Structure 1
Amino acid sequence: MKFGSISLRPQFLVLLFVLTILRRVSPDSVPALCELSVKDKSKAYYYSLASPLRKFPHGILSEDGYYKVATNGTVLWFQLCGSMIFNHDPPMCVDCKDCGGSTHCGMGCSALVSNQIDGYPVCTTLGRPSSTVLDVLDKKSPNMGIIVKMTNTGPKHNCSLSVSVICNSNGVQGPQTLENLGFCDYKTELKHPLGCAKIINSHGSGLGWFGILMVIILCLYGGYILAGSVYRYFFLHVRGIDVIPNLEFWASLPHSIQSWFQSLVRRFRGPSHSYRSSYSPVNF
């Protein structure tokens, strides 16, 4: 195949098609990482951290490319539901090879922490986008917010970062506190409108068992009519309305149902007045 003056081989087209599919099903896909649905009694709570809002077109993702919080000489950078991007002020620390390397430090992971060790800032990768897991803050009050947890499996230690996204419909408040839960396990929080769930009242919704049964019956009936019509048309060479299988039965079915219903009514109500008056009394 030629496109203008460029010749495109079939192998190249197949490769391009496969790469497109892999890109769409990538485990780092933002929608897959940022959605959570929780059902509680008659309500369903739905979170979508990547959904754009009028004031936040990128959803909960920081427009700077990262969130940053520092306390007691420890500096934490992280991004929710994706990898970090540093257009300015990149991390300057040692041992950043598993998160972008020295030239792109911080751009190969979703959470990175820097600690002062022997006077040098040493970096530790805390999480990657593909390891992101979402859960509600409080099982009893699912609308309070969610926890975004990301992890990283290192050669010596398994590290993690938990970010509490608290519901705040009034605006955004970035991370201000940082808590060390272990050797390389940290916790912080921020407030965001996307921490508020969309509540769907599911009470009484759904088809129920009777509705599902009726759908199955209708599907079987439709399949029977379709298969029978195809068979009669192509193999028996029947044309017109007679192509419908058992046409006489289906045509008489409404009358048969009506007669059965009337018979059932007479059985429970007894003979009607007109039925009784059709006989004349006999005197002996």
Structure 2
Amino acid sequence: MRIGGDLPRWVLILTILHRVSLFSASDVCRLSVLDRYNLYTFSLASPTSKFPHGVLSEDGFYKVAVNETVLWFQLCDGMIFNHDPPTCADCWDCGGPSRCGMDCSALVANNVKGYHVCTTIGRASSVDINLIDKNIPKKGVTVKMSSNGPDVNCSLSVSVICESNGVQGPYSLEQSGTCDYATEMRHPSGCAEIVSVHGRGLGWFSTFLIILFCFLGVYLLVGTVYRFFFLGVRGVDIIPNLGFWTSLPQRTQSSCASLVRKFRGPSQGHRDSYSAVNF
């Protein structure tokens, strides 16, 4: 981060204290999405080997100028200006004239009759992160910052597109409505960490067994209640079809033994009907 020598020392101290008091960058701009058998995890503010600040600008802010509109913003944190600070006729909602832009995450200035009038459009405390395309999770995420003012509610949406080769942008700026802005950039931090999730849930046979046991439980419960309250049955006979359930183990054993004899064939102790007999 560059430190300008033309700023007073107290401004630099306030800037550092301001950075410490804001939300921790590691607490925002995180998103985990499960898509089929893959878990996509985005952590925009996490440091990497080439980008120790993650998606955060090392200058303390990003800047986009289109026609008569200038946008300053910082992703996942508040802005810091050690050089080229905004000069606005009105900046009371975002730090005041002496610290313009340092109490918010996004600020836009529009040229009105030769003066730049600033409007706060985003704060670090109001960040919402979602996928750019739900059908293509690895494409990247959109970070939306908002600011609720007494007169108007504003927002800035920044699309962080996955680009493993480096940083590109932001270049464009779009406005929708009275005070809603959008821009996009390409950054390696917009690429998700993809982890394969093992296990594909229950198969059709397991699901069938669960449904079967549920029906059996309901049947036993309803039958027991009916026999107790309406038929006046007491004791173990309250269980419906008790004779069938008590004989079920013997029936199962007989069926298994019959299947074993069928597949093993006749035993050695039994002679075939057509075996030769010596007289």
Work out whether residues 73 and 116 of structure 1, in 8 Å CA contact, stay in contact via their aligned partners in 2. yes
Work out whether residues 67 and 174 of structure 1, in 8 Å CA contact, stay in contact via their aligned partners in 2. no
Equivalent residue letter for 1:156: D
Counterpart in 2 of 1:108?
103
Work out whether residues 113 and 124 of structure 1, in 8 Å CA contact, stay in contact via their aligned partners in 2. yes
For the residues of structure 1 that align with 2:144 and 2:114, how far apart are their CA atoms? Answer: 30
Counterpart in 2 of 1:174?
169
Equivalent residue letter for 2:178: F
5+ residue gaps, structure 1: 1-23, 211-263, 278-284
Alignment of 1:15-164 (within 5 A): 28-164=23-159
CA-CA distance at 1:144 after TM superposition: 0.9
- Structure 1 stretches of 4+ with a deviation exceeding 2 A read 26-29, 204-210, 264-270
Q: Deviations over 1:221-267 (max 9, x none)?
A: xxxxxxxxxxxxxxxxxxxxxxxxxxxxxxxxxxxxxxxxxxx9878
How many residues are matched? 203
Equivalent residue letter for 2:193: K
Work out whether residues 162 and 191 of structure 2, in 8 Å CA contact, stay in contact via their aligned partners in 1. yes
Counterpart in 1 of 2:199?
205
CA-CA distance at 1:180 after TM superposition: 1.3
CA-CA distance at 1:125 after TM superposition: 0.1
5+ residue gaps, structure 2: 1-19, 207-254, 270-279
CA-CA distance at 1:44 after TM superposition: 1.6
Counterpart in 2 of 1:187?
182
Secondary structure (helix, strand or coil) at the match of 2:98 reads coil
* Cα distance, 1:144–1:207 mapped onto 2, change above 3 Å: closer
For the residues of structure 2 that align with 1:127 and 1:174, how far apart are their CA atoms? Answer: 19
CA-CA distance at 1:159 after TM superposition: 0.3
For the residues of structure 2 that align with 1:65 and 1:117, how far apart are their CA atoms? Answer: 27
TM-score normalized with structure 1 length: 0.64
CA-CA distance at 1:130 after TM superposition: 1.0
Equivalent residue letter for 1:100: G
For the residues of structure 1 that align with 2:151 and 2:71, how far apart are their CA atoms? Answer: 20
User: Quick check: which has more Rg, 1 or 2?
Assistant: 2
Work out whether residues 167 and 195 of structure 1, in 8 Å CA contact, stay in contact via their aligned partners in 2. yes
For the residues of structure 2 that align with 1:168 and 1:83, how far apart are their CA atoms? Answer: 24
For the residues of structure 2 that align with 1:190 and 1:165, how far apart are their CA atoms? Answer: 5
Q: Deviations over 1:118-175 (max 9, x none)?
A: 2211110001001111011111111111101000001111000000111111000121
Work out whether residues 37 and 200 of structure 2, in 8 Å CA contact, stay in contact via their aligned partners in 1. no
RMSD of the alignment, in Å?
A: 2.9
Work out whether residues 132 and 150 of structure 1, in 8 Å CA contact, stay in contact via their aligned partners in 2. yes
Equivalent residue letter for 2:37: S
TM-score normalized with structure 2 length: 0.65
Counterpart in 2 of 1:259?
none
* Cα distance, 1:103–1:69 mapped onto 2, change above 3 Å: same
For the residues of structure 2 that align with 1:82 and 1:267, how far apart are their CA atoms? Answer: 74
Counterpart in 1 of 2:216?
none
Equivalent residue letter for 1:113: V
Work out whether residues 93 and 120 of structure 2, in 8 Å CA contact, stay in contact via their aligned partners in 1. yes
Counterpart in 1 of 2:221?
none
Structure 1, 122-131 or 96-105: larger mean CA deviation = 96-105
